[in-house]
Amino acid sequence: MRDRTGRPSRVDPGAVGQGLSPALPPTGPEGTLPPSGSVIPEAAWRRALDLIGKADEIALACHVSPDGDALGSMLATGSVLRALGKRVIASFGDRHFAVPRLLRFLPGQDLLVPPADVPAEPELMITFDSSTPDRLGLLGANTAKAHEVIVIDHHLSNTGFGTLSLIDPHVAATAVLAEQLIYRLGGSLDRDIATCLYAGLVTDTGSFRYSSTTPEVHQMAARLVATGLHTDEIARELWDRSPFGYLKVLAAALDRVSLEDHLVWTYVPRVDRAAYGLPYTELEGLIDIVRRTDEAEVAAVLKEDDHGAWQVSTRSKGAVDVGSICAELGGGGHHNAAGFTSHGSVEDTMAAFRALLANADGEA
C-alpha cells in the first residue's frame, strides 16, 4: 500500500514474516512502517520476504574491512533473522578475518564466522553495503554461486550483482534499508539491534553532519535511541579513542601533508604503523582530519595496508565527484566520499588521481 507520495506507508499483512518473539517491545503504531525516504518498490521488499521465508539457512556478507554501516547493518539483520528461527551465519571476506577494534562493541558478533566457513553455494545470500562483488573479497566467489542473492546497499555505483536489488542511493546508510527490512519481517528493535543500526547511521552521516542527514535520518535515530541505547558510549567507541601510537603516526602523516591547488593529501607507509604495532584499521579517521583544510576542495589519504597495497580514501566538498574518479581507478563510493586500491607507488597513484581530477575540474 502506498500513500500519496508513492512511498510505502503500511505493512501489507500478507507480506509480513512470522513476527518476532513477543519479548521484544513494539516500536511504532501497529502495522505502520517508519518513514525512510527510500524509493525501493514494495514489490522488491515483498520478493525479499518471500526469498527469506523460503530459506532455512541464510548467509550474510558485508564488504571487506567493514565499517560501522556494513557490519552494523549485517549484525542487526542477522539477529532478527535468527530470532525468526532462521539458521544465520554472517561474515566478511578479509584474508585476515578480524573485526576492526572500533567495532568490537557491536552486539550480535556470535553470528560471525570466518569466510572459509561460509557455504560455497549458499541457498540464500544477503550482502550489505557492498557496491560490487569485488568489495566482498573472498566471499565474492560464494556470492557468484549462491542460488539467490539479495543486495542491500545505498551506493550509487552498485552494479546490481544480485538476483534481487534492494538498492537506494537516496538513503544515508545501508542501515536505513536494514531497518526497513526488519520492520517488514515483522521485527521490532531491541537495544542491541538498535545499537548496530545506530552505528551504521552515525558512521555514514558523520554523526549527522553530512548532507545525507535528512529528517528521516533523525526520525530513525529517535526510534533507535528510544530503545535505551547509549549514544555517548557508541560515540566514544567509534571516534574518541585510539592507541597512543596513532598520535605518532598521525604526526608523521600531517608532517607529510601537501596542498596542491585544490587538493590536499598525505600518505602513511606501513613502516610508520609497524613502529607502534598500529593496525591498518586504526587509520580510518585520518581522512577526516586532512579534509578539514579550507584551501582544498578534495582530500586524499593513501594508506599502505599489510600486504603493501595502497588503500586510497578520498573526500570532496561537493564540486568534484570523487566517486566517479575512484570508479575509474577500480574503486567506488559516493559523490563526496570514495576510495580505491592501488598497487603502484605513491607517485604513480597520485599522478593517476591528479589526471582524473584535472579532467573533472575541467568539466565542472
What residues make contact with Mn ion under the rule CB under 5 A? 69, 129, 174, 204
Q: Which long-range contacts (CB under 8 A, 24 or more apart) does 108-117 make?
A: 108/75, 108/76, 108/78, 108/79, 108/192, 108/193, 108/196, 109/75, 111/60, 111/75, 111/78, 111/79, 111/82, 112/75, 113/89, 115/91, 115/139, 115/142, 117/89, 117/91
Q: Which is nearer to Mn ion, 17 or 68 (CB)?
A: 68
Q: Which cell goes with 249?
A: 603516526
Place of cell 582530500: 299
Q: Which is nearer to Mn ion, 69 or 168 (CB)?
A: 69
- In whole angstroms, the minimum distance from the beta carbon of 69 to Mn ion comes to 3
- In whole angstroms, the minimum distance from the beta carbon of 198 to Mn ion comes to 14
Residue 63's SS3 state is: coil
Q: Which is nearer to Mn ion, 168 or 204 (CB)?
A: 204
Question: What's CA 132's distance to the chain center, in Å?
Answer: 13
- In whole angstroms, the minimum distance from the beta carbon of 16 to Mn ion comes to 26
Q: How far apart are CA 228 and CA 360, in angstroms?
A: 46
Q: Which is nearer to Mn ion, 166 or 250 (CB)?
A: 166
Containing 260, the helix (H) or strand (E) segment is strand 258-260
- In whole angstroms, the minimum distance from the beta carbon of 214 to Mn ion comes to 15
Q: Which is nearer to Mn ion, 69 or 284 (CB)?
A: 69
Q: How far apart are CA 275 and CA 144, in angstroms?
A: 40
Q: Which is nearer to Mn ion, 190 or 204 (CB)?
A: 204
Which of 158, 189, 186 is closest to 45 using CA atoms?
Answer: 186
Q: Which is nearer to Mn ion, 174 or 195 (CB)?
A: 174
- In whole angstroms, the minimum distance from the beta carbon of 173 to Mn ion comes to 5
- In whole angstroms, the minimum distance from the beta carbon of 177 to Mn ion comes to 10
Q: How far apart are CA 345 and CA 353, in angstroms?
A: 12
| Residue 336, burial from CB neighbour count under 10 angstroms (0-12, 13-18, 19+) | buried
Q: How far apart are CA 344 and CA 341, in angstroms?
A: 9
Q: Which residue is nearest to Mn ion (CB)?
A: 69
- In whole angstroms, the minimum distance from the beta carbon of 139 to Mn ion comes to 17
